[in-house]
Amino acid sequence: MRVVYKVLAYLVAVEVAVQAAVMVFGDAGLGKWVGQGGVLDKSVLESEGSPFPEVIGFMAHGINGMMVIPVIALLLLVSSFFARVPGAVKAAGLVLLLVAVQVTLGLSGHDIPALGALHGLNALLLFSSALYAARRDRGVAVPAQAEPRLGTAG
């Protein structure tokens, strides 16, 4: 279970990186498209067609952020219960909390753009906390292995 926990924690970090990448990918595609004469208004924004190919970045960001990452964070919390890594539950709880904050900030950013800026900053916090969670077992390898020995010794 410790491996599962570790993999899930790293997966959250990887997903945050993917989120940053696809967002800028979409944004760059939008800039290029407008530069070539494309006009963006709500009708284009809400159209499910692809005015430019990079628009897939925005779609991926939404699905990944609102569905995939919350599910991974939730599974991370569950795996932390079984991982027997000191502080794992707290770390996974922090990750889940930051994911919830991140989704909220992302959606609020549609209304209040300044919260979108916080969404960008919180992404860094989330990335760090995911790495922190993934690396919780460093330095505890010895006591963890020591446990069975203690048992047999007793």
Partner 1 sequence: MKDTHRRGARLRLAVAGAATVAVLGPLVWLWQDSLMPAAYSVMDMGYADYGGGPSPSPPSHATGPGHGSHLTTAAQGHRGHTDDTGRTTAARSVTSLVADPNRTADVTVTLVARAQRFRLPTGRSVDGYTLNGASPGPAVHATVGQLVQVRLVNESVPGGITLHWHGVDVPNAEDGVAGVTQDAVGTGKSHVYRFVANQAGTFWYHSHQVSHEQVRRGLLGPLVVTPARRPPAGTVDVVALLHLYDGARTVNGREGDVRVAARPGDRVRVRVINTENGETPAWVGGAPFRLVAVDGTDVNEPSPVRDTAVMVTAGGRADIEVTMPEDGSPVRVHIGGPGGVVLGSRSYDAPAAPRPARTLDLLSYGAPEPIGFDPERADRRFTYEIGRRPGFLDGTPGVWWTVNGHLFPDVPMFMVAEHDVVRMRVSNHSGESHPMHLHGHHAVVLSRNGVRATGSPWWTDSLEVGNGESYDIAFVADNPGVWMDHCHNLPHAAEGLVAHLMYEGVGTPFTVGGEAANEPE
Residues forming contacts to partner 1 in the complex (CB under 8 A) are: 37, 39, 41-52, 55, 66-67, 70-71, 74, 77-78, 81-82, 84, 89, 103, 107-108, 110-111, 147, 150-154
- Least distance CB 45 / partner 1 (angstroms): 6
Min dist. Cβ of residue 124 to partner 1 (A): 22
**140 near 147, Cβ under 8 Å?**
no
Whose Cβ is closer to partner 1: residue 97's or residue 128's? 97
3-state secondary structure of 148: helix
How is residue 36 written in tokens?
């070539």
Nearer to partner 1, 38 or 128 (CB): 38
Distance between CA atoms of residues 31 and 128, nearest Å = 30
Minimum distance of partner 1 from residue 152's CB (angstroms) = 8
Residues 91, 133: contact at Cβ < 8 Å? yes
Residue number, 101 or 128, with CB nearest to partner 1: 101
Q: How far is the CB of 81 from partner 1 (least distance, A)?
A: 4
Instruction: Output DSSP code: residue 48.
Output: S
Residues 16 and 70: their CA atoms lie apart, in Å, by: 11
Q: Which is nearer to partner 1, 112 or 141 (CB)?
A: 112
DSSP state, residue 53: G
**Residue 140: HSE in the Cβ half-sphere, 13 Å Cα cutoff:** 13
**Which residue, 53 or 128, has its beta carbon nearer to partner 1?**
53
CB of 150 to partner 1, least distance (A): 7
